[in-house]
Amino acid sequence: MLDDVISELKEVVFCLRAGQVTLGYPFRPHSPEPGFRGVPHLDMEKCIGCGACANACPSRLITLSDHDSYRTVEFNLIRCTNCARCRDVCPEGAVTMSQQFETAAPSLGDLRISLQLKLVRCRECGAAIETQRMARKVLEKIPESLGLSPQEVSWLDLCIPCKRLQALHDPVLAKDVTS
Amino acid sequence: MTNRLLNWCFKKSIWVYHVNAGSCNGCDIETVDILTPYYDTERFGIRLVHTPRHADALLVSGPVTRQVRERVLRLYDAVPDPKLVIAVGTCASSGGIFFDSYATCGGLDKILPVDIYIPGCPPRPEAILYGVAEALGLVRPQIKAQTYVEA
């Protein structure tokens, strides 16, 4: 009898010493540990619309579509498993993993990111080639030491089939082939 | 008046029946986590029950496989009105990486009306807690659609 009382008193002491263990979460903010991967965050200014993330995404939630003069990059984050492959492949570092975990939403539309980037169209046939940001990137990466003529640089706004045709009819290249 | 009273009562104590609809068990472990003293959902009156007939909410994890589809529908019918349907995890919300698989229905919203989606793979216990609180109207949704058009 006395033993029981003593053991219960002991338990009371333990519980009192432990204090409050429950997290005050919904009422007090909670920040996850540093390595935590939340939903991906897309830097709209950095993204060039290359589609590397769309290729890498295991749940195929990133889609690219070209219409009129815009390329639409769409993230349908409801399918996101926070695997961070899009972050790993992004050449511009536009995708980062945020720490946000409070992603609960009453409708699917809340979990969408859509980004419209201007397109470069082929000057011969009008097919979509790449976004203007990508074209700018390519121009930046061509070293001046290559000494490209303005005509050669102008091939950048041709699609691949048109570029082939152009090369066939180019007198300089044609001479190269025949000789 | 009775409706308002019902709504008020509903929010004060919500009993949840947990369904594993083909989940990998990740979301289930996180769901069990929120019942521990550390997260302690019973302070909101949320507790797990053992039969759908006692439940107010159906908490579903997993992409809803073809095998389990009919059982989930029967469970939904067994829950008395008014009822909440909570999709926990990316799989239940949309099918996740199994969205186009022949063996799954590709998400709970294909077969049932879902009240709240809690994506995450698995969602943190805090995220589940937040989602349920959001479904009850205690907190506001934090995530919004983002659009951008290049000028």
pLDDT digits (tens, 9 = 90+) for B52-77: 999 988 999 999 999 999 999 999 99
In this model, does residue B12 exceed pLDDT 60?
A: yes
Distance from the Cα of B112 to chain A's closest Cα (Å) equals 14
In this model, does residue B39 exceed pLDDT 90?
A: no
Q: Residue A114 and residue A126: Cα distance in Å, rounded?
A: 24
How many Cβ atoms sit within 10 Å of the Cβ of residue A127?
14
Q: Identify from B35, B36, B86, B90 which residue to disrupt to test chain A contact, counting A C-beta atoms within 10 A and taking the largest count.
A: B90
Q: Per-residue confidence at A5, pLDDT binned at 50, 70, 90?
A: very high
Q: In B, what residues contact A, Cβ < 8 A?
A: 37-40, 43, 90, 93-97, 99-100, 109, 115-121, 123-124, 126-127, 129-131, 133-135, 138-139, 141-150
Mean pLDDT of B118-140: 86
Q: Residue A162 and residue A127: Cα distance in Å, rounded?
A: 10
DSSP, res B103 = T
In this model, does residue B41 exceed pLDDT 70?
A: yes
How many Cβ atoms sit within 10 Å of the Cβ of residue A47?
22
pLDDT digits (tens, 9 = 90+) for A30-80: 888 888 888 898 888 888 888 899 999 998 999 999 888 888 999 988 888
For residue A95, what are the β-bridge partners?
A42
| Residues whose CB falls within 8 Å of the CB of residue A48, separated by 6 or more in sequence, listed in order | A91, A92, A94, A117, A131, A133, A134, A137
pLDDT of residue A176: 62
Q: Per-residue confidence at A178, pLDDT binned at 50, 70, 90?
A: low
- B2-135 belongs to which CATH class? alpha beta
Mean pLDDT of B84-97: 89
pLDDT of residue A156: 81
3-state secondary structure A41-64: EECCCCCCCCCHHHHHCCCCCEEE
pLDDT digits (tens, 9 = 90+) for A145-158: 877 777 777 878 88
Which among B110, B11, B121 has a CA at the least distance from the CA of B66? B110
Mean pLDDT of B69-94: 90
State which H helix or E strand residue B147 sits in. strand B146-149
Which conformational region is residue A123 in: left (phi greater than 0), alpha (psi within -120 to 50 degrees), or beta?
Answer: alpha
State whether A101 and B126 contact (CB < 8 Å).
yes
B116 contacts in A (CB within 8 Å)?
104-106
pLDDT of residue A173: 65
**Which of A26, A32, A118 is nearest residue B133 as measured by Cβ atoms?**
A26
Total beta-carbon pairs less than 8 A apart between chain A and chain B? 139
pLDDT of residue A32: 85
State whether A104 and B127 contact (CB < 8 Å).
yes
Q: Residue B65 and residue B127: Cα distance in Å, rounded?
A: 24
pLDDT digits (tens, 9 = 90+) for A93-126: 889 998 888 888 888 888 889 999 888 888 888 8
Q: Per-residue confidence at A88, pLDDT binned at 50, 70, 90?
A: very high
In this model, does residue A6 exceed pLDDT 90?
A: yes
Burial B30-62 (b: 16+ CB within 10 A, else e): bbebbbeeebbbeebebebeeebeebbbbbbbb
In this model, does residue B91 exceed pLDDT 80?
A: yes
Mean pLDDT of B33-44: 86
pLDDT of residue B29: 92
Mean pLDDT of B114-132: 88
**Which of B38, B94, B138 is nearest residue A26 as measured by Cβ atoms?**
B138
pLDDT digits (tens, 9 = 90+) for A117-143: 888 888 888 888 888 888 888 888 888
Q: Residue A172 and residue A82: Cα distance in Å, rounded?
A: 52
Mean pLDDT of B126-134: 87
pLDDT of residue B45: 83
Q: Which domains does chain A have, with CATH numbers?
A: 34-178 (3.30.70.20)
